[in-house]
Amino acid sequence: MRLIEGAPRFIQASHSSQSSMWDMLLVLIVVSILPVVYHGPRAAILIVGSMAICMLCYIAVQLITSRPIWITDCSPLITGAMIALLMPANVPYWVVAAADFFAILVAKEPFGGTGHTPFNPAAAGMVFASVLWPEYVFSYYTMNSGQTLPLIWTELTTSPSPTAWMREGIQPEIMPFEMLWGRFEGPMGATVTAAIAAGFLYLVIRRSADWRAPVFFVAAAACYAALFPRLLTGAEISVKYELLSGSLLFCACFMAADPCTTPRTSIGKCLYGALAGILLMLLRNYGAYEQGGCFAILLMGAVSPLLDRAVLYFRRGGAVHANHTRPDHSQR
């Protein structure tokens, strides 16, 4: 076993690439504070356990394949934290573990590990768990029922999330302002909107995340919600509930900013974000599940290289066209 202090070559390519991962991990840890406060020790076990499983899977693969273990590569910890935060606090432990195994052993390491993955591993793990066990992934215990969330999974009284109510065209009873702090049914770490927004702002200020894809993601989703509101109370109310409920902001701010799976060009990032936001809203309206963020991120990962190619193609085409149409003054 070789423990190497440093990082893969793509991380060492720029000054900020390695530190950006640690900034992301720090933000996810801060975002985890309110879920632990609301849900108790079980939430902490889910988050820490998920991070540990992803890291152990990474180490096991490196040992089996005789590849070096980069001790400063915290990407498995980021994947584990994201998966746990996108789950309900009452989800069985084994569902989170299964998502972790799939994320690392199927969606990440077979492609070469950090920096080589065509798909966001956390999104892949969540999609895997959502398709196989939707009764656990989309089942949220009633937070205001006075129930104590036990460490061992048991049957609890559950309530629909705001996104589930909106699928039926019903306006949730909770007010949009109250949704900023995540005290309602939904993914335990994806509903703390205030913490997510603050974390994303920190990443942008630190230049650890590019703002283009997340901002266009949210803007496109908001425009879709305004044009095709699911609530009869109007476009403005519909936009507020769509943006503040479910995993939309979490996926936009943290997953859509993933430098490994998003386009490299600035225009490509904007297109990626806008298309992902529209796709998420289409999945919310017509998909089989109430949450479509991870599905949108996963599907957009497949076309991310094509967006860059399209942007570069039109750039070259414009340059060639300009050369052909520029008047020739050489014979004057």
Domain boundaries, the chain: 3-136+170-318
Mutual angle of helices 41-64 and 75-85, in 10-degree steps: 140
Task: Look at the pTM and tell me if it is higher than 0.85.
Answer: yes
Please tell me the predicted confidence (pLDDT) of residue 234: 84
The yes-or-no verdict on residue 243 having pLDDT over 90 is: yes
Mean pLDDT of the chain: 87
In Å, how far are 276, 294, 310, 315 from 218, measured between CA atoms? 9, 14, 23, 27
Annotate 263-276 with b (16+ C-beta within 10 A) or e (fewer).
bebebbbbbbbbbb
For residue range 152-173, list pLDDT tens digits in order: 866 777 888 999 899 888 899 8
Annotate 178-204 with b (16+ C-beta within 10 A) or e (fewer).
ebbebebbbbbbbbbbebbeebbebbb
Please tell me the predicted confidence (pLDDT) of residue 145: 66
Three-class DSSP category at 148: coil
For residue range 197-218, list pLDDT tens digits in order: 999 999 999 999 999 999 999 9
Structure tokens at 64: 């089996």
Higher local confidence (pLDDT), 315 or 303: 303
The mean pLDDT value for 15-40 works out to 89
Please tell me the predicted confidence (pLDDT) of residue 211: 96
Higher local confidence (pLDDT), 243 or 315: 243
How far apart CA 201 and CA 246 sit, in angstroms, is 20
For residue range 44-88, list pLDDT tens digits in order: 999 999 999 999 999 999 999 988 888 788 999 999 999 999 999
The yes-or-no verdict on residue 332 having pLDDT over 50 is: no
Higher local confidence (pLDDT), 288 or 7: 288
CA-wise closest residue to 274 among 200, 176, 231, 266: 266
How many angstroms from the chain centroid is the CA of residue 298? 9
Three-class DSSP category at 287: coil
Higher local confidence (pLDDT), 144 or 104: 104
Cβ contact 79:104 at 8 Å: yes
Please tell me the predicted confidence (pLDDT) of residue 146: 64
The mean pLDDT value for 309-315 works out to 90
CA-wise closest residue to 256 among 188, 185, 196: 196
H-helix or E-strand containing 3? strand 3-4
For residue range 317-327, list pLDDT tens digits in order: 754 444 434 34
